Amino acid sequence: MKKDNDKNIQEELGELYPLLKNIEVHRPIAPEGYFDTLPDRVVSHIKHEQQSRSTKKQSYRWLHISGVAASLAILIGVYLLQYSSNTIILEDEIYSYYIETGDFSDIDEWTLSNLTDFSDSDDDIEYIFNEGLDDIDDDLFLENY
């Protein structure tokens, strides 16, 4: 790696400080055999790191799969909960609609049969009669009750 287009180091030192020019340079000496063992030690460390990396990777993979599964389970759970609460709301809404409007003209047989709270309640029936809901389909009503 030595030498280049730069000014020669000796010339440079000669200009800066002549005393440094001729000093004998000592090279650090490593313990005997050091350079024969260092590559093995480095490679062994690298192998160890590769192994622990692959173990970590596997752990992360399982963690990832578990995470996705848990997320899916939560999403499905939330969806099912929402669906069932929507159904309850729907029934409540139908019930409220017929009670509030008193308009049973468009009620169908299935809905009527499914309005269990409504159909089983004597109070509700009494309420309908008391409120004078004359336009209710008598045939249909009598047929079901």
Partner 1 sequence: MSSMSSHNSDHEILDMIQNNNDIEKGYRQLVYKYQEQLYTVVHRMTNNHQDTDDILQNTFIKVYRHIDTFQRKSKLYTWIYRVAVNETFTYLEKKKKKQLRKADMSLVGDVVQSHPLIDGDDISNRLARAIETLPKKQKMVFNLRYFEEMPYQNMADILDTSIGALKASFHHAVKKIEKHVLKNELL
Q: Which residues make up the interface to partner 1 (CB under 8 A)?
A: 1-6, 9, 13, 16-17, 19-20, 23-28, 30-31, 34-36, 38-43, 45-47, 49
Smallest separation (angstroms) from partner 1 to the CB of 38: 5
Smallest separation (angstroms) from partner 1 to the CB of 41: 7
In whole angstroms, what is the distance from residue 60 CA to residue 18 CA? 63
Is the Cβ of residue 29 or residue 88 nearer to partner 1 in the bound state? 29
In whole angstroms, what is the distance from residue 129 CA to residue 46 CA? 88
List the one residue out of 105, 110, 100 whose CA is nearest residue 134. 105
Smallest separation (angstroms) from partner 1 to the CB of 27: 6
In whole angstroms, what is the distance from residue 94 CA to residue 91 CA? 5
Are 137 and 105 a contacting pair, CB within 8 Å? Answer: yes
Is the Cβ of residue 30 or residue 88 nearer to partner 1 in the bound state? 30
